[in-house]
Each structure stands twice: as structure tokens, then as C-alpha cells.
Structure 1
Amino acid sequence: MSLKKKVIIADVSLVGIALGWGYSFVLTKDVLAEMTPLYFISTRFLLAALILLLFKWKGIRNMPKQMWKYGIASGTALWAGFILQTLGIELTTPGKAGVLTGTMVVIVPFLYFFWSKVAVQRGAVLGSLLTFLGLIILSWDGSWAGVNLGDILAFLCAFFFAIHVILVDRAYKKNESVDSLSFITIQLFIVGIFSLPFAVSLEPLPSLLSPYGSYAYTFDLLIGTLLAYIVQIKAQQYSPPTHVSLLLSLEAVFAFLLSWLLWGEALTFHTVLGISLILGGIFITEALDLFRKPRSLEELKQPSSV
């Protein structure tokens, strides 16, 4: 299979993740009505890690020391992102939290430049800015006046999610033959084990979930966490960080569309405009890369230079 086809498959897989997360986002609202946020994060990530550990124990033990460092570092960044996002949502409006978390699509190209010293390319930047503008319009609820602590925490969470994407990319550049499942197991375990002390000290023990709550939790565990991060980590072997952040931003689009289709949420003009801009930003970035002719995986993983 050619490198170009592998990149296309990776990008399509990332769109699939965004779809799963979009549905998961809708379900999470129902889970959090029955379960506190920190217990939700800690238990689902620990369970996902334990499931993988059953199959990858030997692979984890044999991972190079350098990849262990990257696994711990990227897992810590992912944990920080989730904790800050959870705290931010508690202190600000959902619309503002969604937009500020979405700044990841703008942060990633510049972090990529900072770490790799590869110039920030026009196509990637244009696509990121259009996507971010779409997120602003999509999430606008008419109540963004003022900046509070929740806004700052939501922005910082986007910064750490961007760091996670970059660290995974750099890990693969250091060792392209790394066992992806072992690598993601470390990250999931870090998120779960770091979150657990906060849950135990700050929140009451969760009670048994209702049948629907159990379904929503199981979906978030198996699809929204376990499968999603396996696919993301694997896809990042072939998809550059700018593609990853852009395509994962489709989570907001799918969340709105699924809420409209399944729960009857109103589909307004600014919703349609926001979705159109997000799709336009992704199309620009993908189209520019489609007509390039990269010679190697390293070149293939650079942001668009058009």
C-alpha cells in the first residue's frame, strides 16, 4: 500500500474518531447526571488501560526507555487537558468552553514549528484559522461577555491537548516501529492513575448507574476512550499533527448534528455557518495535500506548504 493511501486511511480513521466522540459528547451529559466528573475520567481511563494491559503486558515491559518517557509525558499532557477541561466547564458556559478547547487547531501548527523548526505553512494555518472561526460561530450562545477563571482553564486544556498531539508525533519520529498499543496503554494508565486521587479526595463515591447510564458509560469506555485513542495513536504514524487537530475538531460538528437528529436540538443559521466553515477549513488543508507528491513518510507528514 502506498504512503498516500495510508495517509488517506489515517485521516478517514480520525474522522471516525470525531464521529464517535461527537456521539460520546452527547452521552457524556447523561453519564455526568449520575456520576461525578473526576470519577468518570479516572475509572474509564483505568479500565481502558487494564483491558489493553491484558494483551500488551509483554510489549509494555519491552518498550524502549525513550518511548516510556514519551508515553509518560504524553499521558501527563492528556491528563492535564482532561482535568483542566473538566474544571473549566464547571466555571464557564459550554459554548465558551467548546470554543476555547477548539483553539487546539490554531495552537498545534505553532507548537509543531516550535519543536520541529519546520516553518508554519500557509495552507495549514489558513485551514486552522477557518476551522477555529467555525468553532466560534458554532458554539456562540450570545453570552461571552467577560473572561473568568473557567475560560482560562479551558484555554489551558487546549494547550495541553495540543502538546499531547505533538508529543505523539515526535515519539513516532524517534521510533516508527514502536508498538502502538503498548504506547497508548501507558498514556491511558497515566490519565487514570493521576485522576484517581483527585476523585477520591474531592468527590463522593459514585452510586450504581441506571441502565441507560450504564450504556452511555460503556460506550464512552469502549468507543470514546479505548478504541478512539488506539486509532488516534495509530493514525498519527501517517497523519501530520495539523491534520490530526483539524479532523478531530469535527467532534463539535458531529455533536451538534447528532443532537439535532437524535434529540431535536434546533439547527440555526449560525450553526450551519459554523459547520460550513469547519468543513471548509478541513477541505482546504486536505485538498492542498492531495495534490502534492511527497517522496517519503517524513515529507508526507509535513504541513501543507501551499
Structure 2
Amino acid sequence: MRIMLHNNAMGKAFFSRHEAALIGITLIWGFTFLIVHLAVGHSGPLFFVGLRFVAAGLLTMVVFRRAIVGLTKKELVAGSAIGVTIFLGYGLQTYGLQSISSSTSAFLTALYVPMVPLVQWLVMRRPPRALTWAGIALAFIGLVLLAGPDAWQVGLGHGEVATLLSAAAIAAEIILIGRFASEVESSRITVVQLIVGGLLSFAMMPIAGESIPDFSWVWLLAGLGLGVASALIQLTMNWAQKSVSPTRATIIYASEPVWAGIIGRIAGDRLPPLAILGAVFIVAGVVVSELKPRRRHHGELSAE
């Protein structure tokens, strides 16, 4: 047996079009961090998350208004469940950041990478291939390196627990999308999950003690702009994960900090050597997960 790249003599692309689409949205994710960083200086985090996702939900509702008429009970339930995980992922991470450092938050959030294949294996009885495990390990090491040396200062406080739960919510979102993607219409379930995630963020504002911010063109334009980005991201995830497994999608999603770092560097930020090494590990993880073994069958080589 030997290892080959996920392309063949006939010229098949290294990544499928679904995987390429997921890589594209991780680039968009990376770009959004600069905008979010600017916007939360003029708005509370829950308000901004609510604005972002409700705007995205209303946009998709208008674009897919004809398809919405056919909304099924399964799509409503599945979309609501995914919407809850979207809210928990953003909300709990934001809560955690109030008492822990951003590097510790990045490290704990990165735990969603090994969580997805483990849950998929234990619950769905789908063990990943050896090369997929290798890709997961490389991507996780890369994320840890990107988080920096201070990331290991982890305690058992409320912030750490909340961030761990946010990582579990992110893992649950990816798995739920993979579970229902082939059984629902992508546009309809996207509308539901965006609206639910946004409304839950607004609903949590009084509980978190967050008030409606003073008007600012910054949070308004940023929220609407990221609403468009969020609509595209969630729609692509729902479409692409019809063909891409949750585990492989997770490895691709792990490359998001790489794009964020590149865009930050373009904006003038300096990347420390450890972060650059982390980016290399993540890219290596994505590539390794795409390798496929080839075995001889009746004197010929064929891809597994």
C-alpha cells in the first residue's frame, strides 16, 4: 500500500468543490475578526451578535422567500437546534472572555477540533481514518501554538468552564449540520438557524446586564455587512456538509486562524514565530487529511 494525494491521473482536483467552498468561507471568517474587533468597541457583544444573525436571517428569508413556503417540521426542529448551538458557541465564548485571557480562550475553544471526530465515532459509529486522525492532531497542535504560551494557564473557574462548553457547542453545530444536511433544504434550514441564533442573543441581553448601545454607524454597518457574510457562511456549511463529513469539515474550519493571521499581517499586525509555526501545522493537517491510501487490486492501483 502507498499513500497518494487526493487527485488521480485523470486530473481530479486535490479538493472537491464542496471542500473548496468550505476553505472559502474560512477565509471570510478570518476577515470578519477585524470587523468584529472594531464593532464591539461601539456595541455590547450580545447585541452585535444578535444584530449580525438576525440581519443574516432576514436577508436569507428575502432571498429564499419562495422556498420558505415549503418549510417542514424537520427543518424547523433541526434549524432551531443548530441555531441554539450557534448562540451558545458565541455567547459562552464571549462570557468566558470576561474572566480569562484571549489566549486561554483560543486554546480551550480549539478543543472542538478533537471533539468532533470523537463524538462522531462514539455516537455515529464512524471511526475516522488514520490519516484523518493525523490531520486532526496536526491542526490541534497548530491551534495551540497560535494561542501562544500563555494559553496553558488554565484553571477551573467560570470562564474556563463556559469556554469549554462553547467548544462543545461548536462541535455540536458541525455534527448537527452533518447529520441533517442531506435530509433538508439548505436555504430553509439556514434561515431558521440564523434567526434563532440572533433572537436568542437579543433575549440574553437583559440577563447578561447588557443594554442597547447608543446609535453608531460603525455597529450598524458592521452588523449588516457581517450579516451578509454570516448568511453566506451558514448557507455554504449547510450545502457543503451534504458531501463533506463533519470530521473533515472540522479540519478545514481549523484553518480559519491562519487566514485571520494573514489578513491581520496585511493590516499591520506582526505574527510571532510561534504563530507562524502554528499556521504551518494547521495547513499540514488540512493537507494530510486529504491524503488517501492506494492498494493494489488485481495488479492495478486504485484509490480507497
Q: TM-score normalised by the shorter chain: which range applies?
A: 0.7 to 0.9
Question: Please, which of 202, 205, 213 is the counterpart of residue 206 of structure 1?
Answer: 213
The Cα of 1:57 is off from its aligned counterpart by: 3.9
The Cα of 1:7 is off from its aligned counterpart by: 6.5
- Match for residue 250 of structure 1? 255
Tell me the distance in 2 between the aligned counterparts of 1:277 and 1:7: 18
Q: What residue identity is the alignment partner of 1:241?
A: P
- Match for residue 82 of structure 1? 90
Does the CA-based 8 Å contact 1:23-1:254 persist in structure 2?
Answer: yes
Q: What residue identity is the alignment partner of 2:272?
A: T
Does the CA-based 8 Å contact 2:154-2:160 persist in structure 1?
Answer: no
Q: What residue identity is the alignment partner of 1:279?
A: V
- Match for residue 279 of structure 2? 275
Deviates more, 1:41-50 or 1:199-208: 199-208
Larger Rg, first or second structure (1 or 2): 2
The Cα of 1:67 is off from its aligned counterpart by: 2.6
More helix by share: 1
The Cα of 1:149 is off from its aligned counterpart by: 2.1
Tell me the distance in 2 between the aligned counterparts of 1:18 and 1:7: 15
Partner SS, residue 90 of structure 1: coil
The Cα RMSD (Å) is 2.4
Total equivalences in the alignment: 285
Q: What residue identity is the alignment partner of 1:32?
A: V
Q: What residue identity is the alignment partner of 1:243?
A: R
Q: What residue identity is the alignment partner of 2:225?
A: F
The C-alpha deviation readout for 1:212-236, integer Å capped at 9, x for no partner, is: x55533332212x111111111111
Tell me the distance in 1 between the aligned counterparts of 2:270 and 2:94: 25
Q: What residue identity is the alignment partner of 2:28?
A: G
Question: Please, which of 111, 116, 122 is the counterpart of residue 103 of structure 1?
Answer: 111
Given the two structures, how large is their TM-score scaled by the length of structure 1? Answer: 0.86
Tell me the distance in 1 between the aligned counterparts of 2:204 and 2:76: 24
Tell me the distance in 2 between the aligned counterparts of 1:259 and 1:64: 42
- Match for residue 193 of structure 1? 199
Identity of aligned residues (%): 24
Question: Please, which of 242, 245, 261 is the counterpart of residue 240 of structure 1?
Answer: 245
- Match for residue 6 of structure 2? none
Tell me the distance in 2 between the aligned counterparts of 1:64 and 1:115: 26
Tell me the distance in 1 between the aligned counterparts of 2:146 and 2:15: 28
Tell me the distance in 2 between the aligned counterparts of 1:168 and 1:144: 31
- Match for residue 13 of structure 1? 21
